[in-house]
Amino acid sequence: MPDKVWAMLLGIPLRAIRAALFGIIITFVALPIAALPYLGDDTMNRNWPMYPLSEQISSAWKLNDTWMYQQGRFFPGGSIYALTMWNLLSSRAAYMTYLALLNILLVVLVAFIIWRITRSAHMAAFAGFATAMCLQLRFGYMDGIASFGGLVLYTLILTLIAGLLAAHVLRGGSHWWAVVIVVVWGLAITAYEVSLLMLPAVLLVLWATGPSVRGEWRRWLWGALPLVVPAVLALGTSFYLRRHPLPLAPAYQTNLDGPVWTTLGKQFTAALPFTQEAILGVPSANRLAVMLLIVLAVPAFLAWRPWTIRGFAISPRVSAALILAGLWAWVVPSALAGVTARWQTELVWGQGYIYLAYEFVGLALLLTGLAGIVRSYAPAPWARVVFSVLFGIVVAACVLTAAENILNVSALVPGPAGPG
């Protein structure tokens, strides 16, 4: 249906309809989190504001001292984040709403980054829906999207923002942005170690989308060094702290003789949507899912009309970089779980550890890169059909995830101490 017909029938521009449907679907995915009780470590950590601030700072310092000199982990940013967040968000409603908003912000950031790279609203929406379809609540394991202080989402969002700022500098932005990049990236890598492992993926996307190195080396110095130098310093600090044998807890011990590949496979497949339904037999929200498909997914698909796309000059280098960066963000955290002694014994098929959020973004980037390759052939009928099918799948999966989240949350009784 032409844009003018949509506008004539509804009195609203098609662009506004698309944006509204995108926002409504993403909200349906994330908003159920706001109704959750405290989960995992949050059942204890939420009590920090009960003590005087001086006592909180002392406790945080001792905890950070334990991480550094008994675990070999450099996490001062985590303590700063926890002190600030728990004191600002002392009620369950405020905290859970904050987590829901973090999830929404993550989806919007991924979509915005893809729009900046491709200048295509279709590709941005595809990436956003592909990210949101993965944000399914998982219970029985520490869930990085609905607990753990929001630390995983916080560091992931800071990582994406640091990459965006570096891209801005590479495209001619002021060199003073390098200071902001150092601060943002420094907060991320000193709050959670997995963010540090994302540096190669960020640099790869910057290389594929930034200016040619030839003749632009000064831009690259100002854009890339604020990412590389803090990362090297953080790694060097961790290696220095581990120069002597440490009494590592099982969660941080590596065991290359254990079931590495099996554990890696468990973490890797857990990033796929609906694995806990398919493998663990978690109940599905069948009736609600059908209703949301009719009310949200079908209108969104018809409004976006992916079958009408034209050929778009997405560079093969850009599509390849998105695919490789997505694979890196998906595989590397899985490998980290695979070599960790604790998860070799505790992980089950269908569930993953808290850094799944990084893998969700990795899967979304991988699918977006593949969709970019297809879109470059859009004048061909087969390419339009394939892109339409892919777009329809991510929209439908996103709505199904919303239904599952609503069902999972409704099965829990909110309370001050956790699930009922």
Asked whether residue 415 is assigned to any structural domain, the reply reads: no
pTM of the predicted model, to two decimals? 0.89
Number of domains in the chain: 1
Asked whether residue 419 is assigned to any structural domain, the reply reads: no
294-342 tens-digit pLDDT: 888 899 888 888 887 776 667 888 889 999 999 999 999 999 888 888 8
Helix orientation angle between 356-375 and 381-410, rounded to the nearest 10 degrees:
160
Reported confidence tier of residue 417, pLDDT bands at 50, 70, 90? very low
Which pLDDT does position 49 carry in this prediction? 76
Asked whether residue 95 is assigned to any structural domain, the reply reads: yes
Which pLDDT does position 76 carry in this prediction? 79
Range of the domain at 247: 3-410
- The tokens describing 330, both together, are 């998906």
Asked whether residue 420 is assigned to any structural domain, the reply reads: no
Asked whether residue 85 is assigned to any structural domain, the reply reads: yes
Q: How far is CA 133 from the centre of its chain?
A: 11
Asked whether residue 182 is assigned to any structural domain, the reply reads: yes
Asked whether residue 416 is assigned to any structural domain, the reply reads: no
Most confident of 74-78, 106-110, 311-315, 373-377: 106-110
On the 0-12 / 13-18 / 19+ scale of CB atoms within 10 A, 215 is exposed
Q: For residue 254, what are the β-bridge partners?
A: 340
Which pLDDT does position 361 carry in this prediction? 94
When pLDDT is averaged across residues 168-186 and rounded to a whole number, the result is 87
Which pLDDT does position 332 carry in this prediction? 92
Between 244 and 205, name the one with better pLDDT.
Answer: 205
When pLDDT is averaged across residues 228-234 and rounded to a whole number, the result is 89
Asked whether residue 417 is assigned to any structural domain, the reply reads: no
13-63 tens-digit pLDDT: 788 888 889 999 999 999 998 888 888 788 887 877 777 777 777 777 777
- d(CA 170, CA 217) in angstroms, rounded, equals 10
Is 70 exceeded by the pLDDT of residue 141? Answer: no
DSSP class per residue in 360-417: HHHHHHHHHHHHHHHHTTTTSHHHHHHHHHHHHHHHHHHHHHHHHHHHHHHTS---TT
